[in-house]
Amino acid sequence: RWVEAGLAALAAGGPEAVRVEPLAQSLGVTKGGFYWHFADRRSLLDEMLDVWERTSTDEVIEQVEAGGGDGRAAVGRLFALATSAEAVLTTDLAVRDWSRRDPEVADRLRRVDNRRMEYMRSLFRTFCDDEEEVEVRCTVAFALWIGNRFMAAEHGSRTRAEVLELTVAALTRPAPAA
């Protein structure tokens, strides 16, 4: 419960919002209960990062892999999962902001992003032989996942969901002949 409450506080107000007393109040417990579970606030923050990494990376990969099918289908599932998991994205953005001020968090984020990119590369390589093309497609997909949240642009007669669907279709097309 402490970790979930901490992640909610992080998503709402950044790492400064992750404080023992307000978390205890939100959970309806005493501050002393915190120290039964954690040595200090840093221990809670570390556990929060562990849970964030598992839920936003390991569990997402497991869900994509469980769907079977080819690489194109897996990319589609990955994109659908990534864009529909609002809590994961909100926490992810909070971790990104936090990483600008904390070198340890920056190292963790880099490791997580590298792992995500490597997984995407493995999917794109199943239908794209050109390594440069694989890197471009992965970078566009990853940047879209992060940046989509900040876009305010309209898309004419199309909804954002329709444009995202078109984007996934474009990213999973066969690579142009060299």
Would you say domain 48-171 falls under CATH 3.30.450? no
Q: Kindly report the number of other CB atoms within 10 A of residue 19's CB atom.
A: 15
Q: Which candidate, 147, 153, 17, 161, places its Cα nearest to that of 93?
A: 147
What pTM, to 2 d.p., does this model score?
Answer: 0.89
What is the per-residue pLDDT for 23?
A: 92
Residues of the chain scoring pLDDT < 70: 178
What is the per-residue pLDDT for 48?
A: 97
Q: Where are the alpha helices (DSSP H) in 54-159?
A: 59-66, 71-84, 86-99, 103-124, 131-147
Distance between CA atoms of 77 and 64, rounded to whole angstroms?
Answer: 6
CA distances, 87 to each of 7, 59, 84 (Å): 9, 14, 9
What is the per-residue pLDDT for 178?
A: 63
Q: Which residues pair with 158 in a beta bridge?
A: 155
Asked if residue 93 lies in contact with residue 12, where contact means CB atoms within 8 angstroms, the answer is no
Distance between CA atoms of 17 and 20, rounded to whole angstroms?
Answer: 9
Residue 17 is classified by DSSP as G
Q: Which candidate, 99, 95, 116, places its Cα nearest to that of 107?
A: 99
Q: Which residues pair with 155 in a beta bridge?
A: 158
What is the per-residue pLDDT for 89?
A: 86
Distance between CA atoms of 3 and 14, rounded to whole angstroms?
Answer: 14
